Amino acid sequence: MVRAPCCEKMGLKKGPWTSEEDQILINYIQQYGHGNWRAPPKQAGLLRCGKSCRLRWINYLRPDIKRGNFSREEEDAIINLHEILGNRWSAIAAKLPGRTDNEIKNVWHTHLKKRLKQHEATPVATKRRSKHYQEAKSELEPMDFPSHENSGSHEHRPVSPQECSSDMSTVTIGDDNNDNDTCPKAESPVNFPEVDEDFWSEVLSTESSGVVNDDFSAVGGGDPPLDQVPFSPLMTMEPVHGYGSNMHDSMDFWFNVFTRAGEIPELPDF
């Protein structure tokens, strides 16, 4: 609707932040917090727009930011979460403590997309998933899908809200006015899968047998050897909710539920 004023028009600085600017912003936020992003530039004397300050803080200066390379577990988690959530980088970031949406987005575009293309992502899991998906796909193909009646050429898959519509809250079942819409629809407002915030710490601490602690730092420094981490955290779900032995089984299950029921149910905490 209305855009925030552009930095250039306001005579504000753009481009890379200097260490001085960083320090000013850090000092300001430590002192006053970050309730209002318009305030720091004015009150701290920064020649930056609030938007830029917010971005700098969130993506770089926040004390809980974890720098450095992504571990294999994190990469697998991103792949799995992306499968569920689509390009909702902030939602994915919320499940990876210390990582930002921007960082995850960058990793996705620079590493993971390629890795998936080459079928190198978590070899065991990838093979299992592709098998699952092939089976599920061939099994589901002949079936009638309430919301896909006129979309025979579309691949059946979970659809992210972005792919669906910009307005998730207004989707309805069987909207005949939009034959091209490939999204599952529901009469009631959609509760998109919300993963329990405690998931990571729980799973990482219990599932990985102490190899990785709850902030992904390997005990003893560095990432755990891959041979000690046969599956990503999301792939060892059986004790959690009992369907199948890994995340992909679970995803297949909910994928089937989505497509058969024609609506998005409330998901359990993965």
Partner DNA sequence: AAGAATACCAACCGCATTCAA
Partner DNA sequence: CTTGAATGCGGTTGGTATTCT
Q: What is the binding site for DNA (CB under 7 A)?
A: 1-4, 6-8, 13-17, 35-38, 50-52, 54-56, 59-60, 69, 87-91, 101-103, 105-107, 109-111, 162, 166-167
Provide φ and ψ at 119, rounded to 5°: 60, 35
Q: Which amino acid is at 144?
A: D
Structural contact between residues 213 and 204, judged by C-beta atoms closer than 8 angstroms: yes
Comparing CB distances to DNA, the nearer of 19 and 180 is 19
Comparing CB distances to DNA, the nearer of 11 and 15 is 15
Rounded CA gap, 169 and 210, in Å?
Answer: 41
Three-state SS for 39-82 is HHHHHHCCCCCHHHHHHHHHHHHCCCCCCCCCCHHHHHHHHHHH
Closest CB 212 distance from DNA, rounded Å = 21
233 CB-near residues (< 8 Å, 6+ apart): 73, 76, 77, 200, 203, 204, 207, 208
Comparing CB distances to DNA, the nearer of 23 and 228 is 23
Closest CB 92 distance from DNA, rounded Å = 8
Q: Is 268 left (phi over 0), alpha (psi -120 to 50) or beta?
A: beta
Three-state SS for 122-162 is CHHHHHHHHHHHHHHHHHHCCCCCCCCCCCCCCCCCCCCHH
Closest CB 22 distance from DNA, rounded Å = 8
Cα pseudo-dihedral 75, 79, 81, 86, rounded to 10: 130
Rounded CA gap, 13 and 17, in Å?
Answer: 9
Closest CB 191 distance from DNA, rounded Å = 13
Closest CB 80 distance from DNA, rounded Å = 16
Structural contact between residues 156 and 259, judged by C-beta atoms closer than 8 angstroms: yes
Structural contact between residues 77 and 83, judged by C-beta atoms closer than 8 angstroms: no
Comparing CB distances to DNA, the nearer of 41 and 184 is 41
Comparing CB distances to DNA, the nearer of 30 and 162 is 162
Comparing CB distances to DNA, the nearer of 59 and 201 is 59
Closest CB 192 distance from DNA, rounded Å = 11
Comparing CB distances to DNA, the nearer of 113 and 128 is 113
Closest CB 137 distance from DNA, rounded Å = 24
